[in-house]
Amino acid sequence: MARKISFKGRVIKEGKAAGEALVSPAPIGFLGGVDPESGLIVERGHPLEGQCIGKRVLVFPTGKGSTVGSYTLYRLARNRLAPAAIINVESEPIVAVGAIISEIPMVDQIDISDIRSGDWVVIDGEVVTVERARQDTDVC
Amino acid sequence: MRLTPEEQHWLAGEAGPGLRKAIEIVVALGKIYGAEDTVPVGSVQIAGVSYKNLGDAGLAFLHEWAAEGGHIRVPAYLNPAGMDLHDWRKLGIAEDFAHRQLDVIEALSRMGAVPACSCAPYYIGVRPALDEHIAWSESSAVSYANSVLGARTNREGGPSALAAAIIGRTARYGLHLPENRRADTLIEVHCPVESEADFGALGYLIGKQVGNAVPYFRGLGIATFEQHIPASTDTHLRALGAAMAASGAVALYHIEGVTPESRRDNMLREDARTLRIDSLEAGYAALNSTPLAQVDLVSVGCPHASRDELLQIADRLRGKRVTTRLWVTTARATKEAAPHAVEIIEQAGGLVVADTCLVVAPIEALGIRRLATNSAKAAFYAPGHSRVDVRFGTLAQCLEAAITGRWPGGPAEVR
């Protein structure tokens, strides 16, 4: 039986989306940190270095770096490599503006410690639903 | 957020997708930062102009927004482009890059922006008044407008500045509010700070340590003529502000008795922390990425040189010849206001380059690997952004390097 939890966050960009979560414990800086041509995280030493963000529900604490990063998110969207949705703990302007201009649904004020990479996440406006298939090792 | 009936009408898409996108961006930022409402702005500075940074997708985005009816309704000025818009061939810029860059300028101009292509619009007639609300991007310009002119702006990003230009308003948060303009960090400087390079090194050290704080300086031995800031001081403040905004995120600073808001009461918070600077050595060391003496390009004018600086540079180059590439970057309007100085610099073999700078031009594609500059901002960004080795020092050292081809004083000397 799968486990389902729902959260209510704050809408940064209104929309509906679903996808497999990709969770980063560290902030993400899009200009120079994500390759807009491949969708890969390329920042040296980043916990998600080498992973592809395309079509994933990208979960991370907050954005960082150059304000040109908004345009990098846009380039990803044009290349069909953008995340399906973005979930932050606390939004900052670069990612917020990037999500808006790229039409990527985005919610913040979510406790991301409840989400793991691989969870199935559905976003509908301010509601985020996280579904995790039960593992054999689950105790309860 | 409280929106006017007109803003609600825009947000509902009733005035078209262009205005809807613009107000959405402004409202989203307002939400994040707790803005109660929006405020009209007197001018906008738009970053995200260099094709190097925008790419084809960024260019497509601008075309799309223009086609959706995004039309600028307040004076809005462009940041530097990736090349000199007239003399790009002289710089060695590729034809392909040039056409796309010109396309970016065309798209933004059609939307209603002024293609000033300068990071120092305050030198070419764009000088907001004390307390005037504006929406500027470009971190060094934000710092100058807030600190030296006492205008009010946050560090707008490229798309949010364009959004503000389209609706003529920005979210009223951050530095638009007087209580957020009080200094929270007192800077005590216990070493001489004399040249523009010294001010840049100082700014680099402070920015790194204070992030987005509001610093407050006493002293610094800055010359003012009653309430007027002379040209040399202006150059120093430009260097200080640009560096703090690059290594940190400082958008506003106060210098007691020098900057306009410092004359108001209670501009330093009681709970301000203190940062003490005893030496600039660490700054110079960090900004000189290499001990090598050879240079491929000497570039001065970041942020864009003032007319006064063009005259100074011409003075130092009169009768001399450079042996490396020398760029003096400035606004086109400044270049056109100093034709005799330009002639002297070019007779010496230098180029007075308009519309761009070494941070946003694709210098790596021009074969440049070793750079010398008197700009702490440029020295900070260049190794990562443009994959070059950097020598950083005063204008005099930079011009000597341009003439001899070698950084003065031998390979090991940093200062």
- Sorted by where each begins, the domain ranges of chain A are 3-132
Confidence of residue B52 (pLDDT cuts 50, 70, 90): confident
B123 and B270 assigned to the same domain: no
Tell me if chain B has a CB within 8 Å of the CB of A91: yes
* Tens-digit pLDDT profile for residues B267-293: 999 999 999 999 999 999 999 988 888
B303 and B254 assigned to the same domain: no
From residue B395, alpha-carbon distances to B235, B300, B381, B390, B399 in Å are 12, 7, 19, 14, 6
B90 and B163 assigned to the same domain: yes
Average pLDDT (B93-108) is 97
Q: Please tell me the total number of residues recorded for chain A in this structure.
A: 140
Q: Count the neighbouring beta carbons within 10 Å of the beta carbon of residue A89.
A: 16
Average pLDDT (A114-132) is 96
Whether the per-residue pLDDT at A56 is higher than 90: the answer is: yes
In A, which residues are within 8 Å of B24 by CB distance?
100
B26 and B158 assigned to the same domain: yes
B21 and B140 assigned to the same domain: yes
Q: Which entry of A66, A70, A91, A102 is annotated as an active-site residue? A: A66
Residue B410 within any structural domain of the chain:
no
Q: What is the share, in percent, of chain B residues with pLDDT greater than 70?
A: 99
Confidence of residue A1 (pLDDT cuts 50, 70, 90): low
B225 and B131 assigned to the same domain: no
In B, which residues are within 8 Å of A68 by CB distance?
47-48, 53-54, 157-158
Tell me if chain B has a CB within 8 Å of the CB of A68: yes
Whether the per-residue pLDDT at A138 is higher than 80: the answer is: no
Contact (Cβ atoms closer than 8 angstroms) between residue B85 and residue B354: yes
For residue A137, what pLDDT is reported?
63
Residue B412 within any structural domain of the chain:
no
- Domain holding B367, by residue range, is 288-404
**From B21, B29, B57, residue closest to A78, measured CB to CB:** B57
Contact (Cβ atoms closer than 8 angstroms) between residue B117 and residue B49: yes
From residue B216, alpha-carbon distances to A61, B130, B180, B278 in Å are 31, 18, 13, 16
End of a domain among B244, B261, B284? B284
The ipTM, to two decimals, is 0.73
In A, which residues are within 8 Å of B55 by CB distance?
36, 71, 75
For residue A33, what pLDDT is reported?
82
Whether the per-residue pLDDT at B410 is higher than 60: the answer is: no
Calculate the CA A91 to chain-centre distance.
11
The pTM of the full predicted model, rounded to 2 decimals, is 0.88
Contact (Cβ atoms closer than 8 angstroms) between residue B308 and residue B330: no
Residue B415 within any structural domain of the chain:
no
Distance from CA of A140 to the nearest CA of B (A): 38
End of a domain among B177, B209, B238? B177
- How many structural domains compose chain B? 3
Best residue in B45, B61, B63, B166 for a mutation probing chain A (most A CBs within 10 Å): B61
Q: Do A97 and B25 touch (CB under 8 A)?
A: yes
B258 and B359 assigned to the same domain: no
Q: Do B157 and A94 touch (CB under 8 A)?
A: yes
B24 and B145 assigned to the same domain: yes
B384 and B322 assigned to the same domain: yes
Residue B22 within any structural domain of the chain:
yes
Overall CATH class of domain A3-132: alpha beta
Average pLDDT (A20-49) is 88
Q: Do B61 and A96 touch (CB under 8 A)?
A: no
* Tens-digit pLDDT profile for residues B178-193: 999 999 999 999 999 9
Residue B411 within any structural domain of the chain:
no
Task: Extract the tokens encoding B281.
Answer: 């050595």
Residue B409 within any structural domain of the chain:
no
Whether the per-residue pLDDT at A61 is higher than 90: the answer is: yes
Residue B37 per-residue DSSP state: S
B276 and B303 assigned to the same domain: no
Q: Do B31 and A12 touch (CB under 8 A)?
A: yes
- Residue partners of B167: CB distance under 8 A and separation at least 6: B7, B10, B19, B22, B23, B26, B38, B73
Average pLDDT (A19-45) is 88
Residue type, A21: A
Residue B258 within any structural domain of the chain:
yes
Confidence of residue B334 (pLDDT cuts 50, 70, 90): very high
Average pLDDT (B60-85) is 95
Question: Could you confirm whether A66 is annotated as catalytic?
Answer: yes
B280 and B292 assigned to the same domain: no
B217 and B238 assigned to the same domain: yes
